[in-house]
Amino acid sequence: MDSVLRAAAMYLALMVLFKIAGRRSLAELTTFDFVLLMIIGEATQQALLGDDFSLTNSMLVIVTLIAIDVGLSLLKQRSQWVSQLIDGGPTIIVENGKLLHKRLRHARLIEADVMEAARSSQGIETLEQIKFAILERNGKISVIAV
């Protein structure tokens, strides 16, 4: 039972921490992000298993984590509120060539991030060529040209 509670607590803690970290951190990993995720993974493994490294305990933890994930997915399907709480929604960060600075700060993005997405997806070179730039739920930036 201890392993089930540990798994549930760690799942919840990581969901909250990654929600606080923001969508950008999960969209494209830098070297720093990758190293950080490796360290988090190791710390999580130690917290999940404690001193019991048996196959049975490992399987119990894995089954618990998958059950929680499936349960939350089902909840998200049935409730828009739960889906919005867990995954958030798309955020417009550029409108008619104008940066929405408050939303950019909240998402911890800078103009260079928007322009990189605009160049790579649409070949856009200036902010004025962007009708909308949208930070999607998955952390990617979608760009709609004028």
Same domain, residue pair 73 and 19:
yes
CATH number at residue 119: 3.30.240.20
List the domain range (segments joined by +) for residue 135: 91-145
pLDDT of 26 above 60: no
pLDDT of 25 above 60: no
How many domains does one find in the chain? 2
Same domain, residue pair 48 and 105:
no
**Of 26-30, 36-40, 104-108, 116-120, which gets the smallest average pLDDT?**
26-30
Average pLDDT over residues 53-57: 83
pLDDT at 28: 64
Of 38, 54, 87, the domain-final residue: 87
pLDDT at 23: 65
Write down the mean pLDDT value for the chain. 88
SS3 for the chain is: CHHHHHHHHHHHHHHHHHHHHCCHHHHCCCHHHHHHHHHHHHHHHHHHHCCCCCHHHHHHHHHHHHHHHHHHHHHHHHCHHHHHHHHCCCEEEEECCEECHHHHHHHCCCHHHHHHHHHHHHCCCCHHHEEEEEECCCCCEEEEEC
Same domain, residue pair 57 and 105:
no
pLDDT at 118: 96
